[in-house]
Structure 1
Amino acid sequence: MTASEAVPFAKTGGLADVATALSRALAKDGHEIVLVLPHYPQMLPQGARHRLQIETVEESFAVPVGTRKSYGSFLKAKLPDSNIDVILVDQPDYFDRPSPYVYENIPYEDNCERFVFFSRAVIEALKKFGPFDVLHANDWQTGLVPALIDIETRKQNPEFKDLGTVFTIHNLAFQGRFWHWDMVLTGLDWKYFNWKQMEFFGDLNLLKTGIVFADMVTTVSPTYAREIQTPELGWGLDPALSGRGSNLVGILNGVDTSVWHPETDRFIKVNYNVDSVGVNKPICKADLQEAVGLPVKPDVPIVAMISRISEQKGFDLLEQADSRLLENDAQFVFLGTGDRQYERFVKELGKRYPDRVASLIRFDEELAHKIEAGSDIFLMPSAFEPCGLNQMYSMLYGTIPLVHSVGGLADSVVPVNRETMHEKTATGFSFDRYHVNDLLACFNEALAMYRNRSDWKQLQQTCMAQDLSWNNSARNYLKVYERAIAKHC
């Protein structure tokens, strides 16, 4: 398993959660997993090196990056509470930085060079720590790896001739697109720089590279797998994706219930389950209100968002709604960072309505858990959403999601209506058209049901009874791995 981030070594988004949780689920099922990541020393919490058992592996390595060689070394660590080996690629010039991809919202100029180096380091790790049956790469930062295996590694190293490759797209909007001369950095022949393989409107595209060269391609929900094969949501890559046919599979992410579960969560005021939610969740609610500086009002619903603050996540709709969101008696909690335009909007809401809105422009893992446990409604009006995790976290905590019905949100949330309430299958509220009026109508529907305590309790119980663990997802990935291996047998 290789990715550019994984909890607890580095995290900017859901990829980090998935890389760790899927590895754990596969290991729990008896498979041997090695996780390969860049080493970002500045992102490790104090004392983490000892806690994560990070040790130096003596041998260094050199790989070609363009016309010169770049040198690095491997560190070895353990994924906490597991037997999973983690190989950290150590190269301070490339990775000893305050964040993985950007500084002050501006991408590093050498991002292509950095992740070409990392991709070639992954090949070195394959040789040193193998043999392996499958290489599973994730997102554009590792998109070059399947190409290197297909073009070079299988031919040059007979022991890898049966190696299967799987490439997962976590968000098609992030493509690793660079000017065409960066093709030189990859070390691959220019013949691969064509519209069917690595070229994309005159540029090098590393996400497209992974899509084209991997044996199997997956994305993080069945609906998103269908959506990205259309011109509307394909971000220009729909021909490459639809060209993969049955080799493109959508698998809904799961939840790492060792981290996210109200019965065991170490960050929340009191633990609870489906039987005690009515008694203990209000205690968590009061604790959240105190933590974020809102008046402690048990009967006022708390509406929360933990999110990258961006247009993709629906903040343009919230900006259009503005004060209309505050027409009802509700409190809002926003946690996250992102685009400055929408950060300003969220901050301004907090200033205008200090007793109604808490705006927290930061990353805060402990507070995120308190928000999931203490809120009543979780808002995810995303314009598009490959999978989403917070709507599933929310369900486990008896916090009812309100979502735009796209991607993984459509796959995981059963919308409230007369039939689903009667059958006790409803798990949230959703709207189909991406428009501010539809969002507000859905929001008002949720607030109306909140006041009907018996229906609300039923919703909570249905949500908390869902099996959202990684067990089913891991089994589906194993089927994909078997298909990838079978292509070379």
Structure 2
Amino acid sequence: MEQSVISSPPDRAGLRILIASSEVHPLVKTGGLADVAASLPAALRELGHDVRLIIPAYPRAVKQLATLEPVATLRPPGARATVQLLAGRHPDHAVPLYLVDAPEYFGREGNPYIDVSGRDWGDNPERFLLFCQVIAQIGLGVPALDWRPEIIHGNDWQTGLTPALLHDRPERPALVFTIHNLAYQGVFDRATFERLRLPPALWSLTGLEFHQRMSFIKGGIVFSDRVNTVSPTYAEEVKTPRFGCGLDGLLRQLGTRFQGILNGIDYRTWDPAADPLIPQRYGPETLELKAPNKRALQLEFGLPQTPRAIVFGYIGRLVEQKGVDLILAVLPRLLAHPDVQLVMQGSGDAQIEQAMLDASRAHPDQIGVHIGYDEDRAHRIEAGCDAFLMPSRFEPCGLNQMYSLRYGTVPIVHRTGGLADTVVNATPERLAEGTATGLLFDHSNADSLWHALRYGLRLYRDHPDQWRSLMQAGMRQDLSWEQSARRYVALYEGALAERRDISSVA
């Protein structure tokens, strides 16, 4: 049965890669990790590699998969019950998928990390230790699968204990670990470490110990053969005290074992010329066809369908990291311009949510807000807006600015992380060359954001040819996954080469 569901085509002669993630679009998504976990395996498979994906068997993930077959029964040490490994395929492409079916751990509706009150599940350490244990078992070989990876690629703290569990096993695969956001580390107290019954040797400064607590993400960093984060600029930023969240010294020590690889975007999903989720498709040579999307978006958010209005958009978490408070701070100046409209979709801090709702009630002709997340609406916002706001205080990579570029929606972003790596600032020189794609501001404060917004308003109204140039240059930029996937292949090969060198010496 397993062979029919999960086998790779016989002509695949590339690397055998197991990518582990706690979420994947469209099965379960709380942020950009889910998009990456869906797109990178597909891009690697296109390059000829035998890549498989493993996630927890959340109920909503299981419900979306038409065919799932049990392929192995596992009993990780200390687990409260046996674990079924289910096999299927990703619904959007041919990538084989394993789901860790442990109902006592993962059989919960809603957000995979927090309960309905917004608090972390109290047994998150046990849940994701179990996930890591299963990943590790597959890495060492599960006979029923008739497949064993050469590389295990973990993502974020939920997979961080996998390298710690495998590091001293001579037969282990090469280990690669990606940090998507260093601010989320999976940090728990010493009592949790004891409760998990992890090897005592892991409690040390060279192991999981982090300021007298245990850190899942540190396990991924310390014990992997290669570590990366999701943009070159963020890779440099996290080696500084300002952005390193206490781990900057460790990351500096990694030297060439640590690098930044920019995320890509999946042009099969995010392409205005072929997007089935938007009212009117268009391309860089047919920008006039973007206008119906703008009218439809204004109607959807209850705003006047005014062609002259410039519509700004925001999609993301409503939290301080994303700079939403800066948007709130500039609203009086922004809304003083009667032809300005703002649409926002997201959720997060309750006070920020309420402030946005209050602002929309006070200015119903200029602000539309949707609390929550809807993927289809996100496509309509990208297609219908004129400009997109991303004033993040830090941004490891960011995907929405890349979606915006593809959709001819000019991004206005803080110069940090992946935002700095993907948006070319509209300086007079870059505008003259036709290479500018957006607007960047340098300081994380309201005045700096307002300066960029004011410049954007001026370009949009007084220099429509330059604004059109910004749109077209962004749409023609290649931010596809193919080139990013090739960089990951090089990372895997480096990890494998080091692993083989160590094995040969041993």
For normalisation by structure 2, the TM-score amounts to 0.91
Report the equivalent of 1:91.
102
CA–CA distance in structure 1, aligned partners of residues 60 and 260 of structure 2:
34
CA distance in 2, matches of 1:284, 1:441: 28
The 2-side partners of 1:242 and 1:186 are apart by: 30
- Opposite residue 15 of structure 1, the aligned amino acid is L
Gaps of 5+ in 2: 1-18, 501-506
User: Which of 244, 263, 269 lines up with 2:254 in the alignment?
Assistant: 244
Q: Find out whether 1:201 has 2:211 as its counterpart.
A: yes
Residue 280 in structure 1 maps to residue 289 in structure 2: yes
Equivalent residue for 1:115, pick from 122, 128, 146: 128
1:364 and 2:403 are equivalent in the alignment? no
Residue 41 of structure 1: CA displacement? 0.5
Cα deviation, 1:350-399, whole Å, max 9, x if unaligned, reads 11101110010011111100000010000000000000000000000000
| 1:321 maps to which of 300, 319, 330 | 330
**Separation of aligned partners in 1, 2:247 and 2:460:** 42
Deviant stretches of 4+, over 4 Å? none
Counterpart pick for 1:64 among 39, 53, 77? 77
**What do residues 305-346 of structure 1 show as CA deviations (whole Å, max 9, x unaligned)?**
000110000012123224222122210000011111111111
2:53 to 35, 39, 42: 35
Equivalent residues of 2:56, 2:101 under 8 A apart: yes
Q: Does 1:475 align with 2:486?
A: yes
Does residue 141 (structure 1) correspond to residue 158 (structure 2)? The answer is yes
Match of 1:48 in 2: 64
Q: Is the 8 A contact 1:333 1:358 kept in 2?
A: yes
Q: Distance in 2 between matches of 1:186 and 1:138?
A: 21
- Label 1:289 to 1:201 Cα distance change in 2 as closer, same or farther (>3 A): same
- For the residue of structure 2 that corresponds to 1:320, the secondary structure is helix
CA contact (8 A) 1:372 1:399 kept: yes
Aligned-pair distance for 1:55? 2.7
Letter in 2 for 1:240: L
What amino acid does structure 2 have at the position aligned with 1:121? V
Q: 1:101 aligns with which of 102, 105, 113?
A: 113
Amino acid at match of 1:99: N
SS in 1 for 2:405: helix
Shift of 1:69: 5.0
1:186 Cα shift? 4.5
Aligned in 2, Cα 1:43/1:350: closer, same or farther, shift over 3 Å? farther
Q: Percent identity?
A: 42
The separation in 1 between residues aligned to 2:152 and 2:26, in whole angstroms, is 21
Q: Does 1:409 align with 2:427?
A: no
The residue that corresponds to 1:74 in the other structure is 85
2:467 is aligned to: 456
Alignment partner of 1:7 out of 25, 39, 56: 25
Distance 2:137 2:206 in 1: 27
> Which of 134, 148, 157 lines up with 1:131 in the alignment?
148
C-alpha distance 309-43 of structure 1, shift in aligned 2 (>3 A): farther
Rounded to whole Å, the distance in 1 between the matches of 2:119 and 2:247 is 24
The answer on whether the counterparts of 2:427 and 2:436 sit within 8 Å (CA) in structure 1 is yes
Matches for 1:152-301 after TM superposition, within 5 Å = 154-155=169-170, 158=171, 160=172, 163-277=173-287, 279-301=288-310
Following the alignment from structure 2 to structure 1, what is the Cα–Cα distance between the partners of residues 298 and 216? 44
Distance 2:450 2:125 in 1: 42
Shift of 1:420: 0.6
Alignment partner, residue 386 of structure 1: 396
Gaps of 5+ in 1: none
CA RMSD after TM alignment: 1.3
Paired residues of 1:26 and 1:33 also in contact (CA < 8 A): yes
Q: Distance in 1 between matches of 2:113 and 2:198?
A: 24
| Count of residue pairs the alignment pairs up | 474
> How many angstroms apart in 2 are the aligned matches of 1:322 and 1:367?
23
Corresponding residue for residue 10 of structure 2: none
Distance 1:76 1:386 in 2: 32
Question: Residue type of the partner of 2:119?
Answer: I
Letter of the 1:292 partner, please give it.
F
CA contact (8 A) 1:166 1:215 kept: yes
Q: 1:108 to 1:81 in 2, by over 3 A?
A: closer
Quote how far apart the aligned CAs of 1:146 are.
1.0
Q: Report Cα offsets for 1:199-239 as digits up to 9, x if no partner.
A: 11111100111110000001000000000000111011111
In 2, Cα distance between the equivalents of 1:242 and 1:109?
33
1:106 aligned counterpart, secondary structure: coil
**Structure 1: distance between partners of 2:196 and 2:415:** 39
Partner of 2:9: none
Secondary structure in 2 matching 1:204: strand
After TM superposition, give the deviation of residue 81 of structure 1 in Å.
Answer: 4.0
Q: Which residue of 2 aligns with 1:399?
A: 409
